[in-house]
Structure 1
Amino acid sequence: MEPVFFEYIPELNQAPEMRELLLEYGTIRRYEPGDVILEEYSRIRAIPIVTKGTIKVLQTDDDYREMVLYYLQPGESCIMSFLGGIHDEKSKIRAVAEERSELLLISVDNMMKLIREHPMWLNYVFRLYHKRFEELLEVLNAVSFKKMDERLLAYLQRRAEVTGSRVLYITHEQISTELATARVVVSRLLKQMEKEGLVELHRNKLILKS
């Protein structure tokens, strides 16, 4: 029986021989929520493909504030890790398991071998690059033009989308860190959203209503 994550990689339907190679080249690693998968400024030795769960990718500014750039779901890889790995550059991002997750780690050399021997794999890389580029544009647009209440709601909606649940186990402190704003601002906006019937607040979790 083939791994479920194969379903999310359409390129494998056009080049089925890559299925066995992915499993042959890759090593499965499992992570618990909150586990750090990749630190900023660390050397990239392997390219991850998510097989289960959700991974969030963040970047830290000069004041050590973090901002979520995008999420990785089954069948996806981190294009920034890919580019850093093939150019032998240190990581510019931090990757953390959002929930219990599993990754297929493929060495940079083997990933390059896949691309050389199976050009169809480039479609996979370009497709991910396009998706990540659009998501980064959304982040830039939100930071530049949207009010914090709009950013907060969009953040919660996106988190619910990637986890498949409207029950979000997260603290005000975590939200403020990932939105690069003050905790008091997040708490004030969440209370206002609760009055408007958008969320239901509980200790260390909230329920998104719409």
Structure 2
Amino acid sequence: MNTLNEIIEFKTSLPIRRKLASYSIVKIFQAGEVIQRENAYIKAIPIVSYGRIKVVRTDDEGREIFLYYIKAGESCIMSFLGGMYNETAKVKAIAEEETEIYFIPVNHIVPLIKEFPEWLEYIFRLYHKRFEELLEVVNALAFKKVDDRLLSLLKIKCEMEGKSTISVTHAQLASELGTARVVVSRLLKQMEDAGLVTLGRNKITLLEEK
């Protein structure tokens, strides 16, 4: 099991690391498990030790749209804000693979901010990163065609996995893009014909662009 000293992606003093560790409740989630549901009150702030969390937004008909990933050393800025103001979650968080999380109860967040300026810096850095990622989502929805969004999503997944071949179904991709499975299947076949990907059974290999 990793320690907070090893996983948090910012410079911190030893005292805050000790406090974070003492406050934390550690849990492990398996791939596909829902970590946070929409409209549920946020009782603790997650910091990922290892693994990856997929954050999505769901509409009234149950369709999902992928927003961003939370990886090792990162937390969820939505949880920070919702927890601080006693609001319900506006997004759903799902374990993409086996994921270990340090949960810090929300009642410790404000005292930590007051006592340790670097904790606030960590929050601001996360906010900046997530804001840029959400702008990319808005830009893609507003200005990009579905095939461009699909290719971008495949590149993100390959980057997160650290390899060119990923295990994913057409239905999963369709859900994350907010479109139909048949649309994704058709676009992937076009991409394969164009030499951008090779398709296997629940596997996709992203090829180098010529």
**Counterpart secondary structure, 1:197:** coil
Provide the rounded CA distance (Å) in 1 between the counterparts of 2:2 and 2:148.
41
User: In the alignment, what sits opposite 1:6?
Assistant: 6
Provide the rounded CA distance (Å) in 1 between the counterparts of 2:65 and 2:184.
14
Paired residues of 2:7 and 2:49 also in contact (CA < 8 A): no
User: In the alignment, what sits opposite 1:92?
Assistant: 90
Paired residues of 1:5 and 1:74 also in contact (CA < 8 A): no
User: In the alignment, what sits opposite 1:136?
Assistant: 134
**Counterpart secondary structure, 1:63:** coil
Paired residues of 2:7 and 2:72 also in contact (CA < 8 A): no
Q: Shift of residue 7 of structure 1?
A: 4.9
Provide the rounded CA distance (Å) in 1 between the counterparts of 2:112 and 2:16.
8
Provide the rounded CA distance (Å) in 2 between the counterparts of 1:138 and 1:155.
11
Equivalent position amino acid for 2:181 in 1: R
Aligned-pair identity (%): 51
Provide the rounded CA distance (Å) in 2 between the counterparts of 1:47 and 1:18.
15
User: In the alignment, what sits opposite 1:37?
Assistant: 35
Q: Shift of residue 68 of structure 1?
A: 0.8
Provide the rounded CA distance (Å) in 2 between the counterparts of 1:159 and 1:112.
34
What RMSD, in angstroms, separates the aligned Cα atoms of the two structures?
1.5
Paired residues of 1:11 and 1:123 also in contact (CA < 8 A): no
**Counterpart secondary structure, 1:151:** helix
Q: Shift of residue 9 of structure 1?
A: 2.0
**Counterpart secondary structure, 1:9:** coil
* Structure 2 unmatched ranges of 5 or more: none
Scaled by the length of structure 1, the TM-score of the pair is: 0.94
* Count of aligned pairs between the two proteins: 208
Scaled by the length of structure 2, the TM-score of the pair is: 0.94
Deviation readout 1:177-205 (Å, 9 max, x if unpaired): 11001111100000011112211111112
Change in CA separation of 1:2 and 1:104 when aligned onto 2, cut-off 3 Å: closer
| 2:72 corresponds to which of 71, 74, 91 | 74
Provide the rounded CA distance (Å) in 1 between the counterparts of 2:116 and 2:108.
12
User: In the alignment, what sits opposite 2:102?
Assistant: 104
Q: Shift of residue 63 of structure 1?
A: 2.3
Q: Shift of residue 113 of structure 1?
A: 2.1
Provide the rounded CA distance (Å) in 1 between the counterparts of 2:7 and 2:179.
38
Q: Shift of residue 4 of structure 1?
A: 7.0
